[in-house]
Chains A and B, each alone.
Chain A
Amino acid sequence: MATFSFVQPSTTDEALAALRLGEPGETMIVAGGTDVLFGLEGRRIPLKRVVSLRHLPWKTLSWAGESLRIGSTLPLRTLERDPDLRRRIPGLWQAVRAVGSVALRHRATLGGNLVRSSPASDLIPILLALDSEVDIIGMEGERSLPVDQFVRASRTTALGSGELIRSVAIPEARASAFLWQRVRPANDISQVGVAVAYSPSRKGWRIAVGGVVPRPVLLPQAERLLSGPFPGAAELRAAAQEASMRVPFATDRRATEEYRRQLVATLLQRAVRAAGSHPSSPGVP
């Protein structure tokens, strides 16, 4: 039965206006919509309205020199198929490929994944390792937040009511990798995801881990143990050890805490080696 209305704004102003209709909690905002059906059941506040962002002109992808800006409603499949992405930011390409199936990625979006803010997200760790920024627009204007400050916990972010993510900015292309482990390689939730990226401007590594409560995290202490784009085995082991001790893992039905620690130590070393040897790495001619 029709219990709510469907609103499809086609401009930013219309979208922001639509968000202000009704009482808080009555409106559901849908980007790709792949999570929407789950949101319909078991709600405390009856749903009155769905605002679909599908018609907004935000399905964009633009490279400017080394930087990349991705519209929040761009389907992940389009991002994955960008002719430059795999070569220039391999870790992001790998992370996007890790999300769901092709049919899901034809609809799922970066903006939706960020707002869902799952601790097991395959995209948030690489966005963290790439020092990505979330561009937010609201009635009071625009603001920009590092992903690290944006995501807080499952379904909890810094996004205010009346605000939308317009795009995600990645400041520079980086030699990078995203490795994950699952019980079943495809169509499963990652037990652990490790994203690493080497920043040519900062001359240092960024390491982020997913499969963590309450949210994916950066690991600055482990990053500092890696001296250059080609860390030696001892440095890698030290960083892996540091990471596996530092991360706030928990035991759940997908993995135990101790297994996650083992995984992060292994995947971190492999990811750094993979990123360092990728053609996009500064050290590879």
Chain B
Amino acid sequence: MTASPARLTVNAVPVDLTPVPVDERLLDTVRWRLGLKGTKDGCRTGDCGACTVLIDGRSVLSCLTLTHEFAGASVTTVEGLEGDPTAARVRAAFEMEGALQCGYCTPGFVVALTSLLKELGAEASAEELTEDLGGNLCRCTGYTAIVRAVRRVHEEMP
């Protein structure tokens, strides 16, 4: 049996889960315990995508995740994507297409799209990528610039 308390790795830094209450959400652990505020606190019901983080490389909603569920796993937040070349391409495309306004949903989009590009790889079409981003809500841009940014990333994929 995997015993709790345990450890979690966040952005390659080990985190001791001993002081973490078992009903704490991963969203609150990264934001308030670790001070990683790039992960945004939106709906807290899994409906907006602003809190998207990677767990073992896959996008998940940190608001619907109990921190202890992923003891032993590796969590990457938007801050942990600083040196990631895929994320860098995503950021560049969003900049060039003006695919952000207020910026509240933006880190969630960066994390989700980076994850998708890695998960689907070269086989993905731009249409699949945009369809699979449907869980991330944006109220400012009307998505049109985001779709342009996805196409740009897709075209520039190595």
Contacts and interface: CB of A to CB of B under 8 A. Distances in A.
Asked if A and B form a direct contact in the complex, defined as CB atoms under 8 angstroms apart, the reply is: yes
Given A103-B49, A186-B134, A2 B69 contact: no
- Number of chain B interface residues as a range: 35 or more
A5 B22 contact: yes
Interface of B is mostly: loop
17 contacts: A3-B22, A5-B4, A5-B22, A6-B68, A7-B1, A8-B4, A9-B1, A14-B1, A18-B1, A30-B69, A33-B65, A37-B44, A100-B46, A103-B59, A103-B61, A104-B46, A187-B47
A191 interface: no
Contact of A187 (B23, B69, B71, B134): B134
Interface in A1-47: 1-10, 14, 18, 30, 33-34, 36-38, 40
Interface of A: 1-10, 14, 18, 30, 33-34, 36-38, 40, 50, 52, 54-55, 77, 100-104, 106-107, 186-187
B94 to A, nearest CB: 18
Which of A3, A4, A8, A101 has the largest count of B CB atoms less than 10 A from its CB? A101
Contacts of B63: 37
B152 interface: no
Contacts of A4: 22-23
Interface of B: 1-4, 21-23, 25, 44-47, 49, 52, 55, 58-61, 63-66, 68-71, 112, 116, 132-137
Contacts, number: 100
Given A4-B23, A102-B135, 17 more contacts: A1-B21, A5-B22, A7-B1, A30-B69, A34-B46, A37-B45, A37-B46, A50-B22, A50-B68, A100-B46, A100-B135, A101-B134, A102-B132, A104-B61, A104-B135, A187-B134, A187-B137
